[in-house]
Chain A
Amino acid sequence: MSAVGARDQGAMAALYDRYSSVVYGVALRILRDSAAAEDVLQDVFLQLWRNPGVFDARRGALGAWLAVIARHRSIDALRKQKPEDELPETVAINMDLENGTARRRVVEKIRAVLQGVPQAQRSALEMAFFEGMTHSEIAEKTGEPLGTVKTRIRAALITLRKAFAE
C-alpha cells in the first residue's frame, strides 16, 4: 500500500491482480450484471489510487476492507443512491487474505458456516447485505415483525463471528 501511496503503477497493478476477484465477486453478486460490476471494480480501485490514505493499513487487512467498500458501492449503484460518505477506515481481520490459496480456504470456511446458519436468519441477512434492504422493508416483504428481523440479522452475523473466533 505504501508503494501505491508513492504513485507506483506497478504496485497498483499487483494489488489489482491480488484482490480484483474479491471486489468483482461482491459487485457481481449484488448487481447481477457484469458491466455494472466492472464499473464498481473500476471505481473502487481508482478511489484507492487517488486517495490511498482512505484506508488505514496499520490496523486492518486490505482484502477485507476492499470487500466491504465494494459491497457499499454496489448497493449505492443498485439503489441508485448517492455514494455513502460514512465508510469504515479499516477492517481488522486475523486471517491471511493476501495469499490466494489461504484466502480460498477462508472463503470455503465462510460458505460452510453460512450453510449452517438457520434459513430464516441467513435469508434476513442476505436481503440486508446483498439487496441493501432496511429491516422495515424486509419485515414488509416477509411478514415478520421488525424486532424479529433485527434479531435474525444480528444472530447470523454473530454466528459467523463465533466460527472464526474458535
Chain B
Amino acid sequence: MTAHDQFAEDLALYALNTLTGADKAALEAHLAGCAECRRELEQLHTDISLLALSTEGPAPPARSRQRLLSAIAQEKPAAERESRRSSAWGWFWVPSLAAVAMALVAFSLWRQSQDLNRRIKNLEAQNSQVQSEVQHAREVANLLTSPEAKRFTLIAANARPQPQAKAVYMASTGKLVLLASNMEPPPAGKAYEVWLLPMSGAAPMPCGMFKPDSKGSATMMGPGMPYGTEAKGFAITMENEAGSEVPTPPILMVGTG
C-alpha cells in the first residue's frame, strides 16, 4: 500500500471539508509535498461539483436578483465618492494619502502575519498531538512485539493451561496483532497460520504465519488487510511453513467477536 492509497479516503473527506483534527493535519502535511495527491484533490472537487450541480432546480425569487443588483450598485458609488473627494482636494494631499495608503498596507500585512502566526500555532499544536499519539502507539507496539517482554496469562487456579490466542484487529486500517500462549510446538516443516473470517461470509483470508517460542508464546503482526475488511472472527490452522491460500482442516482455534 502506498502513501497515496493510505490518504485516498481522507482526501475525499478533506474535499468535503469534513476532515478534522489530527487526520486533517496529517493529510495537509502530506499534501504539501505530494503533487499526485494535490491532483487527486482537484479531481475530487470536480466530483463534488457534480453532486452539487445535481440539485439545480427552481429559479430563486425575483427579489433576490434585485437585492443583489442594489447591493453592488451601492458599493460602486462609494468608491466613486472617494475618487471625487480626492480630486477636489488636489495634489496637495497626495503625500498624506500615500502615507495613509502605506499605513493601510502595513496594517493589512500585519493582519495577514497575525493570521499566518495563528495558523502556524494551530498546526504546531496539531502536529504535537499527532507526534504524541504516534509515540504512544509505538510504545504499545514495541511492548507487544518485543522478545524481551514477559507474557503472563492468568487462568483459573488449578486449571490446566490451555492454548489460547488473542487477536486485536482494526478494520479501518486493516492492522492485526495476534498474541498466542501455551501453544504446542508445531511438527517439523509446519507452522500455525492465522485466518480472518470475513463478516460478508466470503472465504477465510490468510493473515500470516507464526511459530511459538520454547515457552509456547508468539506475537504476530499481520501484513495488513485491505481497508474496511470487516471481521466476524479469526481462526488458526496448522499449515506447511510456506503457508496456504485456503485453510487445511481441522480448525485448531477459532474466536468470533
Contact = CB atoms under 8 A, between A and B. Distances in A.
B60 A20 contact: yes
Contacts of A24: 57-60, 64
Nearest to B229: A147
A128 interface: yes
Contact of A153 (B13, B42, B69): B13
Interface string A24-47: 111011000010011001100110
Contacts of B57: 21, 24-25, 28-29
B60 A41 contact: yes
A34 B61 contact: yes
Contacts of B72: 9, 12, 46, 49
Contacts of B19: 134
Interface in A102-130: 103-104, 106-107, 110-111, 114, 125, 128-129
Contacts of B60: 20-21, 24, 37-38, 41
A45 B70 CA distance: 12
Interface in A136-153: 145-148, 150-151, 153
Contacts of A45: 68
Contacts of A129: 16, 48, 51-52
A37 B55 CA distance: 13
A13 B75 contact: no
Interface centre among A7, A17, A150 (most CB of B within 10 A): A150
A147 B173 CA distance: 7
Contacts of B36: none
B9 A22 contact: no
B9 A71 contact: no
B227 A160 contact: no
A68 B52 contact: yes
A49 B79 CA distance: 14
Contacts of A86: 17
Interface in A146-166: 146-148, 150-151, 153-154, 157-158, 160-161, 164
A145 B48 contact: no
Interface string B32-65: 0000000000111111111111111111110111
Interface centre among B18, B52, B171 (most CB of A within 10 A): B52
A71 B48 contact: yes
A129 B12 CA distance: 11
Interface string A85-109: 0101011110001000001101100
Contacts of A92: 42, 46
B68 A46 contact: yes
Contact of A148 (B18, B55, B171): B171
Interface of B: 8-10, 12-13, 16-20, 42-61, 63-65, 67-69, 71-73, 75-76, 170-173, 227-228, 230
Interface of A: 7, 9, 12-13, 16-17, 20-22, 24-26, 28-29, 34, 37-38, 41-42, 45-46, 49-50, 63-65, 67-68, 70-72, 75, 84, 86, 88, 90-93, 97, 103-104, 106-107, 110-111, 114, 125, 128-129, 132-135, 145-148, 150-151, 153-154, 157-158, 160-161, 164
The 8 closest A-B pairs by CB, nearest first: A147-B172, A67-B52, A64-B49, A150-B9, A24-B60, A25-B55, A154-B12, A29-B55
